[in-house]
Each structure stands twice: as C-alpha cells, then as structure tokens.
Structure 1
C-alpha cells in the first residue's frame, strides 16, 4: 500500500511539473526542441544588449528586439561590444542550415540567441516576445521593472517552407490598417505567406494605371445578395454588420467597395517584408472576372456579362485583346509585388461561352486542342510563359490539372472531393500547396471541433512516397469573405484556429492537449492586441434542451477570467447583462441567450438555448435486430433533408451514423436516409451532437432532435431528448450538395462527457 501511495504521489508530482512547464513555455508554434532548465534570466533596464559582430545585415531585427524591450521597460537597453554577464547576446551562426533556423540558450547569467540569417533572428524575437508577459503589448501600461524569461535550451526550425494565410478582399473589402494587423498576427505565430485575393466578380481591389475603369467602376457595387444575408444576420450578431467606412454615396446610389492604390500596396508590402511575410497577389483569370468585364466588355467572347450554368462569364481566351489586357495587368502586378509568385486563380471557369464561340472553335483547331478543358490549359500555359518572362512563378488552383499542367506551375489544392489532385501533381513533379476546404477554409463557421480538426490536419496526402512528398511545400488556410463583412468578423473566423495551423506547419509534432494549455495563455495577449478572436466554446447544454421535472444549467467558464452573461428577453447579452449563476434552475419552458466575455469585453458566440418540458419517451420492443443501420441512397440534388425524393436508388447496411467513402461519384450531390433503432442503456436525458457537411436532421421516436439542415461547411448542432431505457426508432436524413461530405453523431447523457454513439447501440430490423 505504501509503495502504491508513493507511486501515486510521484505521478501527481510529475503531472504538476509537466503542467507547470507547459505554462512556463507558452510558445505557439512550439519549438522543435526545447529542453527546460532550472532558473530564469531576469531582464531589467540595466540588462546589456550585445549585437552580432557584423550588425549591418541584422539592423531591422535588432531594432525590433530593442523596440520590444523598450515598450516593456520604458527605455532602450544599453548595448555592449562583447559578451558580458547579465546580457542578451545576438550571434550569427553560419552553421545553421536554414534561413529561419535559430537557437536560444537561456540561463540565469545570460540569453544567447543565434541565427544564420535575419529571418531566423526575427523568429527568435517572436519566441522571446511570447515568453514575456502579455502586458508588454499594451503601450499604455506602466513600465515593467523586470521580465523573467524561463531557462531553457532551444533549437528551432520550420518543417514546411510555405506557411500561409489567404484573405479575400474582393467580396468584402478590408482597410490598409487591417491588412497590417493581419500581417502582425501572421508574424507573431511564424506564418510567412499572405495570399491576397485581389479580384473577383464582386470587386476589383488593386489600382491598374493602364486600365483606370477597373477601380473607378469595378471596385464599387450596389449591395448584392451576399450583403443582404450579412445584414439579416447582423440583427442577432453585430459582427455581421457591414463596415460603414466602405460604403459611399455616388450619383444617388449607395455603393459598397474600395481599392488599394499602388502606393498603398507598396506600403503594405514593405510593412510585411520587415516582418518576414511575403505577399502573393492573386488576379483571378480566366473566370471570376465579372468586375473587369463590366468595365471592359470586350474581354468576353461576345460582349456578354452575367452568369452561366454554374459560374460567371469568363474572359475569352480566343481573342488577342484578352491576352494584351492580361499582360498589361500582370506587367504592373509583377513590378509592384516583389514575390517570385503570382497566383492566376484559374478555378471555377464557366466554359459554355467558349464552347459556343466561333472564335474559340478556330483557336482550338489552330492549336490542336480537343476540348474546352485543353483551351483553359492553353490560356494558363500562355500566361505562365508571360509570368516567366517577368521572372515569376505561376500558382493556380487545382483545376489547372484539367487539360494538362506544365511541369513548372505550382498547384494549390482546395477541392477536397478530388483527393487524387495533389497526388497526381506531386507525382508529376509540381510543387503543391495544400489548402483543402475541410479543414482549411476558415470562412466555414467554426464550432467546437474546428481547432481540433485543424490541429490534426496532415499536410502530406496519402499515397505519396517519401521522395514525392517533398513536392508538398506547405499549406495555408483560406478566408473567403462573401459572408465576412467586417474586420471583427474576420478576426473571429481565423483566430485562434490559425495558431493550430501554425503549429502543424512549423513543428509538425502532435501534442493537442499541450497546445490547448498553451493557447489559453495567449488570449490575454490577443485581447491587448485588439483581436476580436473566437472565445473557447461553452459546455453543459445543447441548443434545444428538455427537462422532466427541472433542469440545472451549470456552465464552467473555460478561462478563469471569463464572464458568462445571459438574457431571457430575446435581447443579445452585453457587458451590462446579468451574470449567469453557478447553478441556474429551469422548471418551466424558457428561451435564453448566453455569451461569454473576455476582460476587455470581447464577446464570444451567442448561444440561444430553448428549454421544454417532456416525459421520458417510451421504449419500443424490437426483436432480432441486425447490428447497425440501413442506409438508403438517393441520387440527385436536394437542398434540404426534408426534400429527399420518395424512392431510394439503392440500400445497404452500415455500422453507425456515417456516410461511407465513395458515395456521390466525382463529388456529386446526393441524399441519404440512415434508419433503424438506438438502444439506450439507461433512462435519462440524452444530448445528441450532429456534425454535417452539408446538412442533416436527426429524428428519434419520430421527433426532431437536431436540425442541422441546409448546405454548409462542416458544422455541429445539438439537441436533447428524454429517453426511457431500451430501443427507440432512429432516423438521420442527410443531404450532400456536392464537393465533399461529413456526417458524425455523438452523444452525452445527463450532462456527461461527449463521445461517439457506440455501434452496439444501433440496430436495424430484418
């Protein structure tokens, strides 16, 4: 017994030490190697700063470190010519392998930072910054007397060279100030690429001096159907309100828009460069060009402007005037952006106008092109040759595989429903950047699974050899802004889940629980940086709740300084709303709204909770049930799970509430009904969580329990039902709109742990 107690005590001590170390080194992304040491180095205003022997190549980075310390301590540190006790020492180390590599040795006597190149020193400064207290981010805070940095031996380098974020400024526009804030966050978390989607159907956002109508006309629009959706949602969520600074009055019309002058963009590019972030411009061609075609109608094959079967009318690849226009555009873009990359887009091209064009028929015949797919490839390859003449490398979305890809183009993979695209490109020898819609489209509304899904993303697709995998140069997350109308909403959509991607791409070591504990230490810093991040999820309820006699709502704040406020009047909680008690008793039907608040007033998700009274639903007698469920498959397009057609095209058995791989050929649309029985082991209140991409509805005992209907990205919704022990009829109706699907059902009972529904609970009749 004594040995057991000693072992238990030792284990508890180990856990305490491990937890303390995680809080002691709250670095994201976590370094490749970090060996904790005892003690700490204390920085004071008397601490000396020793610059590299040849400081000239590192003037910007040393100035950044000096500025960081000056903001924290109130005055710059004195410098010394050589290493002295009590100093922060910066040394160049040519033996390090990469431009971003660095080391940091911290002991009670000194901090020694080494790097091969300026980028490595900059990454080291960001690590040191994260080890300092968050209050240093507040320029108005009192000066600190000292800053303790925990002792350690650290060696660090990135796993992937492309660690990116994409921002669409065409659908909704963002200010220069916001671009700089965005860049600051990328730099803090060691991301190094900003892919700016500058043009699309909804707006042209970059000045082109040779074609002034692109911005004088193409940068402005009347409110469209995407704006109206945002306005409707703004009634319940102020973050969905359109930023007023991008709305003007012109000729009696209300217009939305904006653009960057070339001088403004030069300023942003310079700002990014000193933070070691490379900006990659995207001018999307030949599709997504309606803003340009409206200004210059000669760009389409027959002057038409509008929409085809699926997408907008593209520019015409069969008129030389199109190539003159494109080359003029990219001449200015190549001169403006120093990046070696230019993104051509080349996705979602509506080719029906090409198929109907006599000029295109002649071009295809003259160039021995057999179909419009090869005609698109003809356009892309011709533009790539022009890019190369300007010293640039072409990037395109994965549709550039269709019709044939050149060996030098870079492919950006996004279509999750075409899993062989990155594999084929890598085997062909092309470099590949991974941006699959699930989980890296950050315009998808986040839920409790979003950070987990990003953190567990594997950049290298299955099926590649080690040699082929070297063509996967990294990944990025994309933010498409059709339904992101404000800077606050943009913050919410990408933070903090970008931090998970940063760790995947820099460290590539999976330690999710460790990461979550470190992330908790970052929220205060983000508050002080003015980031309107998404607060951690609240637990202890579902959206639709039931009670038999009464229910107790008990919500544990996931962060110690978080406040949860509520209303029962239908109004949105604000910082003046009542604080939720530790145990809130519900004994009558009720609708309430909850929201969490950070100390700076940043509001988290607004939860609407419905409570209704219910008896336990009686169990059903089921004899000789087969394990699993029956899945009825319905070929076709159904925009709602309630609209699935009457007759199934095929049926088979499955083990659980899942959609097997391979359904919906080629990423097509379909419907499914999964039905049978669920055998609950005890009488109780069961909470069910249904995650769908696209939509689904869960019914138990013919009652709707969770409605997650409609076409949308992966998202979880929840509901409760009171069940008597035993068998109950179960039905999940599911619809897929095309492009990749997900279906998952989880449960908890009487407020317990969330977990998958066991196979053993499910059965189908003979």
Structure 2
C-alpha cells in the first residue's frame, strides 16, 4: 500500500505516470515549475559541440560557465559553432519567454537546447543542467567520461522575485574567498539575493574613505562574551573555534577582526553579478552602532557607548552631526553597490538615551509625540536621502512602530508580532518574509528543521491572498553569527536548510516526499564542493532511553552510505572507533556515544544515548479525577524552569491540552502544568518535548525530558516505563522573550509520534 501511495505522489507532482523515477532521474532542487520526463539520454563527449548563434551572443558569459563545467568532465572545452546540429548543446535566444529568469530546457538523445530571453534565465538553465550531470564534475580531474543527461522537457520560472540568503559578517568575519563559496551555493540553488550585514555593535566591516577610523578602530575588538562562549564550546567542537586568520596582536592584546576594502567589495559584487546575484548592503542604524561609536564618539546623544536595559546605545537622531555622518557613509555605500536597495536595519533601538534637551527641542519643533516617533523621523529622513541617490530603503519590521512611508520595504522577522505583516500591507509597504521562528538559520537545527523550512507559508494564510501576493516580494533566510565563528560552522548551520528554502521560493509547491528523495542525491555534490553540511539525523532511539529487562539499539540511517561508529567508555567516537552493529543488545545501564561519518570523511553530530533500567512505575490512586491539567502561570524572566519555584504565581487555570493558556502569555513568562497522565496500557513510552525557550517533563516522579534553558525551538526526547493507570505529570515551560513554541508528543513501541490525547490528561 505504501508503495502505491508513493507512486501516486510522484504522478501527481509531475503530471505523468512515466515520472515514477522522477526524484532519482531528475534530482533537481528547486524542482522546476513544469517537468515532462522522456526516455533516453544525451551523451556528452569531446565530439559534442556548443552552439551559440549571433542572436545568442548575449549569453556568452553563461556559455563560458557551461564550458568550464563540462571541461571538468571531458577534459577539454567543447568546440563551438554558430549553428546547432546533431550531438550539439545549443544556447538559444527565445523572445517568447516573458519571465526575466524563465527558461526552457529540452534534452533528447540527439540534442540539448537551453532557451531563455535574459542572461539570468540562461544562467538558471545552466544550473539545472549542472544538477543533472554527475556530481564529480564539481572537481577538475574527477569527471566521468562519457557524460549523460536524461531526456526531459522543462519549462521553468521562479514563483517569487526575492529569493534571498543573508550573512552577518559583523559578529564574526568571513573573508572574500568564503563569500565566493557562499555565492556559488546560492547560484547552484537559484537564489538571486545576498544580504550582507556589514555593521553592528561587534564590528564595522566596510571601508568608508571619509571615515578611515571606522575600520581602523571599529573593525577590531578584544574578545567579547560571544567570542569567549565560542572558545569554550570549541573544546568539544573544533568548528566553534575562532578562525586564526582573523586574529592579530596589538599593544600586547589579542584582537579579532577584519574588513573589506572598497576594492574587495567591488570584486565581491562582480563575482555575484556574474552569477546573477544582487548584493544588498546593510548599514544598521540608528541602533546596533557601538563599533561606529567607538570610532566616532560624537555620534551619541549622551556621550556614552554601552548597553541599556535591552540594547546598545544608538546614534543620536537629534544632532545634525549625526545626519552629516550618516549621509557621508551612505553616499559611499550607494556609489559602491549597484543594487537599488540599501538596508538600514532600524531594529532593536534602545531609545532611553534620547531624553536630552536637543531631542526635546526637536520633538517640539517637529510635533513628535514620543521616542517611537523620533525614530520614525530618523528613518524617514534617511529614506529621503537614499531616494536622492536613486536607492530604495529596506528595514526590519520594528520600524513600523513609529510609522514609515509606503515606499519603504519591510523585512518581517518578529514572528511573535503577528499583526506586523498586515500593518505593512495596510500601509502599502512591499514585504520580504524572514520570520525568526523558521528562517533564522542561526537557530540550532534538529531533526524537524528542514521540514519546518519546507512548510513555510511565504504568503501567510491569515492575509488576504490577492493583496498579499502582490506585496510580498519573496522570502529570505538569515544567518546571524554571534555563535558561528568559523566557515565550517556556517556551512553546518545553512546546509541543508538552504535547499528547502530554495524550493519554497522558486517552486512554491509542496512535494516534500519527492524533495527528500532528491536531497539525498545532493550530499555527494556538496561534499565535493567542500561544504561541511549537517549530516541528516539518525533515528530509532531516544537519547534518554530506558528498559525493564533488555533492549536493542537499532539505528535508522537516513543515508545508506553512512558509517556509524560508537563507544561505551564515555569517549567521543572517532573515525577508528568500532562500527555499530545492525542490532546492539543492551542488558545493563550504559551510555552509548554514536557518530555518523560520510564516505568523504565528514563527521555528523555526536549522539549520547543513556540507557537506564527501570521497573514499570506503579500507578497512583485518585478518586474520579477531572479532565485536563492545572496550568499555573508566572510573569517574569526565568533562565531555567526551576526558578519559577521562587516566584509568585499570577494565577492558574484548567487546560485540556499541553498548550500555553492565553492568560499566561506575556513577553516573558513561565507555566507549570500539573496533574496526571492516564496511561491506557503498560509499556515503555517515548515523549518528545519541543520548546522555545525551555522546559522539562517529569512523569511518575522520574525525569523524562530535560529541554531546559533559553534556546530556539529544539525537540528532545526521553523514555519512561509506565504501568497502565494514572501517573503524576509535571511539565514546566519558560519563555524568555521573542515568541514561544511548546509541543508534546509521544510514541510507543516505535510508532509514529503523535499528540498526547486530551483523554489522557487528568487533575
């Protein structure tokens, strides 16, 4: 039955019964808008010719890129011709293709034709051909001869105009070589925007000739708390070590830093342009400016450069010297970047320092009622200046609070501010979706992360679909680098989540089962591109496992070629540790550490599986318990759930599911769920607790899942042996700010995880 459903899914997603092998035969990410499978293959040999007519000379750069790719396989460039013939690859101009990035690809056993109207469309077609060719072509000298392409007919164009990735180079720096590698990945997966976060409190990364101190002073720092945290973590994970190439000794101190000269940036922009990627600069203001203030102390209202209650001291919107500085900086930025957009941030501004006489005077003069209006004044003034330079302004959705003009483009990131997209649409602002809950790739990944990205609604279902579809330009994922100090760590955090987003913004169709099948074929290519991707999650176990008599560790591998190595002595497995057998018997309490290795030598995460022997917990007696759990809620900031014990509760309510009651919701809060779990049959149960921020689950007075602390939405699991009947449950959950997630599921005897039924909850 499962096989039939799988075949039916493939037919529905491709529109042809002959597409039963589509994911294997056409492992394309993102999947084309239209793909019609065909029989046979086209073979590329040294005799194959590359045809480029006079009308198609506009594609000369794309033809050269295709030549470079094929040279890796056949050993020499293909001969060129102006007229297509038998056994040729033709790049053809097609005026009937209306989408700027649209293309057609026809592969028959006799000929290959790539057709487009614009060079960008032809480049996307070349990337499709690239993905259909063997991964070995990514390395010179590793190609296989002859090369074959599967016959197919493709008509393709993107669903969204804005398909972006972001990289924060301020918190931790990444050099030109890595940016080129990053852009190569964007090109492979048909992204067209690179958002560079160039300045922040921790570093100013772009040369500004008018203010050389911005990089002389602002680009370097002694180790901060983020660096120190990374150094501590590097003891267990070498990818968390600071890159030594960005360290220098100065005045007897070690400093971390780096920056791009304007010539460096011109090279980056040119490299991006050749791949039809637009580079959007972000110069964050008026907040997130400590690096600039260190170099130019005159920028603040109060002469200080420190942290307020939540955020850092901003620059002063009430002094004309501030605007002189901003305009000088943005003049150079606007001249350097050909993108029509400049991003100014305008988020997380600590406005308490604006309570000065100069600000009071300005507010009275301009009729400004409060500090949010003062930020609005700053943002609007900066936007008018950018417009005078022929640029459009982008800012984070925070800037909606004081009011903005309809001409500003809004990036929606605060997923806990549910009405921000509707406010932007009502105001007439173009929108780019980048919600923190889904598209902040600095959030630690778990086994659900890829699917979560894939299921993203670029146009949220609660918005009017007609107006929203016109206003929403697309989506973008962000990589903030406070805890990402190395290139390997950046690769790990981005891949493979980037591939899921690529399909969301290009294809805009839900074909998740097909996508997973295709994704498996991309890992060898990523390895050859020296991408330290996150090895897919192992399954079939819980990191907190229990048994009553004996059990067996049988791990499910997501990729057949993975080699699993393990230890039982507490040490971390290495490439020489024993290979895990298909079934490892467990007869006594023990700790198994497990690591998956790819054939290329890439190392996966370390799994620590702690086995405890437990008798089935004895149920408790309770007279006619009522349905539901008691939820006691607290307002406050709790780093750990146990801290609620010291706080005064705001109130309590009965809930029929493990969900935060509306009465508890606040910016920062905690909830204690208490009662009984009415277990229908005796067995070993696995519970899965997803928390953002943190939580713990105890059953029958036994710790089952410890997912405590402040972190993004992560699932952790644990097991417990329970007899049929009532067992005390204690679930504690805390939210430290910025939106929350709480989800509890269970499984028994290897079943699929499912929601805990309401009928099980008693108090």
Quick check: 64-73 or 674-683, which moved more?
Answer: 674-683
What is the match of residue 365 of structure 1? 364
- What's the secondary structure of 1:518's corresponding residue? helix
Quick check: 592-601 or 450-459, which moved more?
Answer: 592-601
Q: Deviations over 1:203-230 (max 9, x none)?
A: 1111111111111111111111111111
What is the match of residue 761 of structure 2? 763
Deviation at 1:7, TM superposition (A): 9.6
Q: Deviations over 1:295-324 (max 9, x none)?
A: 111001121110111110000011111111
What is the match of residue 523 of structure 1? 523
**Map 1:617-636 → 2, pairs under 5 A:** 617-636=617-636
Q: Deviations over 1:550-605 (max 9, x none)?
A: 22111122111111112233332221222111111222222232111111111111
Separation (CA, whole Å) in 2 of partners of 1:623 and 1:278: 67
Separation (CA, whole Å) in 1 of partners of 2:635 and 2:683: 38
Pairing 1:294–2:315 present? no
Whether the 8 Å CA contact 1:45–1:145 is kept in 2: the answer is no
- What's the secondary structure of 1:604's corresponding residue? strand
What is the match of residue 379 of structure 2? 380
Deviation at 1:176, TM superposition (A): 1.0
Separation (CA, whole Å) in 2 of partners of 1:573 and 1:292: 45
What is the match of residue 272 of structure 1? 272
Whether the 8 Å CA contact 1:677–1:729 is kept in 2: the answer is yes
What is the match of residue 132 of structure 1? 133
What is the match of residue 689 of structure 2? 690
Deviation at 1:512, TM superposition (A): 0.7
Tell me the TM-score normalized by structure 1: 0.96
**Map 1:192-591 → 2, pairs under 5 A:** 192-354=192-354, 356-461=355-460, 462-591=462-591
Separation (CA, whole Å) in 1 of partners of 2:671 and 2:53: 65
Q: Deviations over 1:25-61 (max 9, x none)?
A: 1000000010111222222221121114423321111
Q: Deviations over 1:601-658 (max 9, x none)?
A: 1111111221222111112234433333232222222221111155432333333222
Deviation at 1:385, TM superposition (A): 0.8
Separation (CA, whole Å) in 2 of partners of 1:491 and 1:734: 31
- What's the secondary structure of 2:283's corresponding residue? strand
What is the match of residue 21 of structure 1? 22
Separation (CA, whole Å) in 2 of partners of 1:592 and 1:526: 29
Separation (CA, whole Å) in 2 of partners of 1:255 and 1:340: 35
Deviation at 1:662, TM superposition (A): 7.7
Q: Deviations over 1:224-266 (max 9, x none)?
A: 1111111111122111111111111111001111111111111
Separation (CA, whole Å) in 2 of partners of 1:466 and 1:622: 55
Separation (CA, whole Å) in 2 of partners of 1:724 and 1:687: 14
What is the match of residue 639 of structure 1? 639
Whether the 8 Å CA contact 1:53–1:91 is kept in 2: the answer is no
Whether the 8 Å CA contact 1:40–1:149 is kept in 2: the answer is yes
Pairing 1:51–2:52 present? yes
Separation (CA, whole Å) in 2 of partners of 1:13 and 1:97: 29
Pairing 1:112–2:113 present? yes
Deviation at 1:19, TM superposition (A): 5.1
Alpha-carbon distance change, 654 to 18 in structure 1, aligned in 2, over 3 angstroms = farther
Q: Deviations over 1:170-201 (max 9, x none)?
A: 11111111101000000100011110001111
Alpha-carbon distance change, 537 to 662 in structure 1, aligned in 2, over 3 angstroms = farther
Quick check: 282-291 or 701-710, which moved more?
Answer: 701-710
Would you say how many aligned residue pairs link Structure 1 and Structure 2? Answer: 756
Tell me the TM-score normalized by structure 2: 0.96
Alpha-carbon distance change, 738 to 210 in structure 1, aligned in 2, over 3 angstroms = same
Separation (CA, whole Å) in 2 of partners of 1:427 and 1:9: 43
Alpha-carbon distance change, 649 to 268 in structure 1, aligned in 2, over 3 angstroms = same
- What's the secondary structure of 1:331's corresponding residue? helix
Separation (CA, whole Å) in 1 of partners of 2:469 and 2:91: 35
Whether the 8 Å CA contact 1:230–1:242 is kept in 2: the answer is yes
Q: Structure 2: 5+ residue runs without aligned partners? A: none
Whether the 8 Å CA contact 2:266–2:336 is kept in 1: the answer is yes
Whether the 8 Å CA contact 1:659–1:742 is kept in 2: the answer is no
Separation (CA, whole Å) in 1 of partners of 2:342 and 2:50: 40
Alpha-carbon distance change, 555 to 526 in structure 1, aligned in 2, over 3 angstroms = same
Deviation at 1:478, TM superposition (A): 0.6
Separation (CA, whole Å) in 1 of partners of 2:151 and 2:695: 52
- What's the secondary structure of 2:279's corresponding residue? strand
Deviation at 1:17, TM superposition (A): 6.7
Whether the 8 Å CA contact 1:427–1:468 is kept in 2: the answer is no
Whether the 8 Å CA contact 1:45–1:73 is kept in 2: the answer is yes
Whether the 8 Å CA contact 2:688–2:716 is kept in 1: the answer is yes
What is the match of residue 705 of structure 2? 706
- What's the secondary structure of 2:537's corresponding residue? coil
What is the match of residue 602 of structure 1? 602
What is the match of residue 714 of structure 2? 715
